[in-house]
Amino acid sequence: MEDPIVVTGWGMVTPLGCGVESAWKSLLGGEKVLRSLEGKEWSAFGSPRAGQVLDLPSSEKLARRDRSLRFAVAAAEEAWAMADLARVGPGRIATTFSSSKGGLLSLLSTGFDPSVTWDFLTDFFPHAGGQLLKQWFGFKGPSLSVSSACSTGIGSLVEGIRLLRDGECDVVLAGSTEASIHPLLYAGFRNMGLFSEKEGGPSPFDLERDGFIMGEGAAVLILETHSKAKQRGAKSLAIVSSAVLGGDAHEALEMEPEGRTIVPVIRRSLERAGLSPHDIGYVNAHGTGTRLNDQVESAALAEVFGMNGTYVSSTKGATGHLLGAAGSVEAVLAGLALIKGELPDTRNLQDPDPDCPIRHVEKGGMKKKVDHVMSLSYGFGGQLGAVIFSKA
């Protein structure tokens, strides 16, 4: 029998708060994260807003590093402490950690200057977060970077599991980070018509939904085999029953409109986990709040789970769209729903769209013990991912 992969620690930085418990409390408490973007660089946008991280712990050593890297270290330190990794040999610890856009803020703030030094490149590449974590904690195992737009976090989990299965390491720090709230990227999304203009913010699956807002953050999950975790006395938070990737070649910025590329990913994740649709008690959907995404995703979920099947919600209405960090943050939120027996609702969902025929979590969230949960992520360019967590 295959040795299960388990999660022994996790950490988060989100607009809802820094730290797993802080973010979870804010999520269930309905805290608002829409914040005005201030400064002369935002003056051309009228009333710009985003989901920003405000209470990030400061570190003198990281003061000049890219914002996305500071997020990465804060999330990793929480996960590291939870998993008590100080007792694991550094040569057996690996990282699969990335960003979809790398140190974008550092790059754009540099501007064009012929005399620029090369050191800004240390923060620019998508793999910079994983490299910094290796230096910060001093581990020496393999380091991989999977940059796949908004599914980057699940791609990192898939690669981390592969390293463990191949015996390349005993522990993996897997996850993703994103800090790209900049006028250039903001203008691009706005001009594509993707931003929500609703006063209360994004409302995934709602009849009047009109888009998302940008967010930022990071999450790290500590992965290891159950036998190794047990051997060193580490507590298993959840079992990673499966993590799979898929692709959609319909268009670079649009998914296949019937959900036919999402369905096989969901079914393959169930098959690999040895589960049937009715075993999944909760799905954290990608749920961006755009007209097309929510309708396509709902069609796929309804085909697999039925219209009155598993409970579904999107946490992007609460956090904003964390882009490259979305997959890892939402995976942790799904895992928390599993172990706490509480399902978060879809923020701002007032009038469910009949064209999104899924079973929504009750308004205000609900207490419900479940044995298995799923988190889904999709990215521009057709990257698809699904992860299933089960009770340890």
Q: Please give the Cα distance from 198 to 347 (Å, whole number).
A: 12
Mode of pairing for the β-strands spanning 93-99 and 171-178: parallel
Helices 152-165 + 326-340 axis angle, to 10: 70
Who's near 360: CB < 8 A, 6+ residues apart? 205, 311, 312, 313, 345, 346, 349, 352
Q: Select which of 18, 150, 169, 356 is catalytic.
A: 150
Would you tell me how many other CB atoms lie within 10 Å of the CB of residue 109?
A: 11
Q: Please give the Cα distance from 284 to 333 (Å, whole number).
A: 8
Ranges assigned E (strand) in the chain: 5-14, 17-18, 34-36, 49-51, 93-99, 143-144, 171-178, 217-225, 238-247, 282-284, 311-313, 342-343, 359-360, 366-367, 372-379, 383-391
Who's near 313: CB < 8 A, 6+ residues apart? 282, 283, 284, 285, 287, 343, 344, 345, 346, 360, 361
Respond yes or no: is residue 18 known to be catalytic. no
Task: Give residue for tokens 């996305």.
Answer: 68
Who's near 383: CB < 8 A, 6+ residues apart? 148, 149, 150, 151, 155, 245, 247, 248, 377
Query: 99: which strand partners?
Result: 177
Ranges assigned E (strand) in 259-309: 282-284
Q: Select which of 18, 321, 356, 372 is catalytic.
A: 321
Q: Select which of 169, 286, 356, 372 is catalytic.
A: 286
Q: Please give the Cα distance from 158 to 30 (Å, whole number).
A: 31
Respond yes or no: is residue 356 known to be catalytic. no
Q: Please give the Cα distance from 80 to 133 (Å, whole number).
A: 11
Cβ atoms of 55 and 18 within 8 Å: the answer is yes
Amino acid at 109: S
Give the catalytic positions in this structure: 150, 286, 321
